Structure 1
Amino acid sequence: MKGIIFTEFLDMAEEKFGLGVVNRITSLPSLSTGGSYSSVGNYPHEEMLAMIDALQKEVDISQKELIRAFGHRLFQVFLDGHQSFFVGSTDPLDFLSGVETVIHADVRKIYPDAVLPDFDCFWISDNVLVMDYSSPRPMADLAQALIEVSIKHFGVDVKMERSNGPTNDAHSARFTLTRVR
């Protein structure tokens, strides 16, 4: 997993809960890195999951809520750092339908070693987009949060339904997005 995900997560944790909490969650004996991350490095996703679990215990907020808050922050980081992906987009469904073919394709050019989740997107009608998420990492909740904040960013009324993917766990999910008119 790219280091920027780790550094942004730790920045969020410090801003919301303080340096003491961050020091405790980065001091877990299971972290092979010793809790030290660079935004350009690659790290085992298991370390992120361990820190999320530890943070949840520290602050007594559910993992889903923490991941959702992180997804909202991460979207802003992507928006600030990669504005070109958003230029010309006025509709969340059109934007989201290009996550795999436009955004992830560009990310893979810049970071050929990046292991990104896959989004198989297809239209059921002009107003319904299906996004099938799959990943070697169990981060469907993060994908959902990023989709939610994308919808909010564009200010278009979209209903989202999430159902289990083929693995029936957080490694896959189906998001059905319906533009409300």
Structure 2
Amino acid sequence: MKGVIFVELIKMAEDAFGEDTVDLVLDKANLENDGAFTTVGNYPCSELIKVVMAFSEHSGLSPVVLQRKFGHWMMDHFVNNYPVFFEGKTDTFSLLEVVDGEIHVEVQKLYPEAELPVFKTERLAPDHLLMTYSSPRPLGEFCHGMIEACLTRFDQTADVTHAAVAGVDNAIAFDIRLT
């Protein structure tokens, strides 16, 4: 998993808890590299889960809540650092529908070794999108947070539900209905 994800998670934690607290929490997390992440490094997803669990224990917030908050944080990061991905996108669905066909194509050019999740979308009605997320990493709640942040970015509201895809590890179907 790309180091930028780890670095941004640490930045979010520092913003919420302060640098000293982050250092203490990371020391307790028993990480392979003692919490020294770089944006260009690659790290196992299991280390990300350890960090999330450590901050969950520290804060009392569930890992689900923390992953969703991190999804919101990363949406802001992407908007600020990769604005070209958002050009011409006028609503949530127009962005979600091009994650695989446009955004991930460009990400793969920048990071050829990156193992990206797969997003398949199906527009069921003008106000209804089904999006299936599949990944070797168990980050469905992070994805849910990204969807919520996308809705916020485009000043839209929706009912977002999700369920595991039967028989497929780490695949989640998100049902998004604009309200």
Measure the CA separation in 2 of the matches of 1:138 and 1:167: 15
Give unpaired runs (5+ residues) of structure 1: none
Residue 142 (structure 1) aligns with: 142
Measure the CA separation in 1 of the matches of 2:122 and 2:110: 26
Residue 174 (structure 1) aligns with: 173
Deviates more, 1:37-46 or 1:159-168: 159-168
Contact 1:26 1:51 in 2 (8 A): yes
Residue 10 (structure 1) aligns with: 10
Q: Is 2:36 the partner of 1:36? A: yes
Give unpaired runs (5+ residues) of structure 2: none
Closer, same or farther: CA 101–119 of 1 in aligned 2, 3 Å: same
- Equivalenced residue count is 179
Deviations 1:132-180 (A, max 9, x none): 01111100000000011101110123332212223577x2211112233
Q: Is 2:101 the partner of 1:86? A: no
Measure the CA separation in 2 of the matches of 1:167 and 1:73: 31
Measure the CA separation in 2 of the matches of 1:125 and 1:149: 21
Residue 112 (structure 2) aligns with: 112
Q: TM-score, normalised by structure 1?
A: 0.92
Q: Give the letter for the 2:163 counterpart.
A: S
Residue 131 (structure 2) aligns with: 131
Contact 2:119 2:131 in 1 (8 A): yes
Measure the CA separation in 2 of the matches of 1:157 and 1:72: 15
Q: Is 2:73 the partner of 1:73? A: yes
Closer, same or farther: CA 108–48 of 1 in aligned 2, 3 Å: same
SS of residue paired to 1:27 = helix
List 4+ stretches of structure 1 deviating above 6 A. none
Deviates more, 1:68-77 or 1:160-169: 160-169
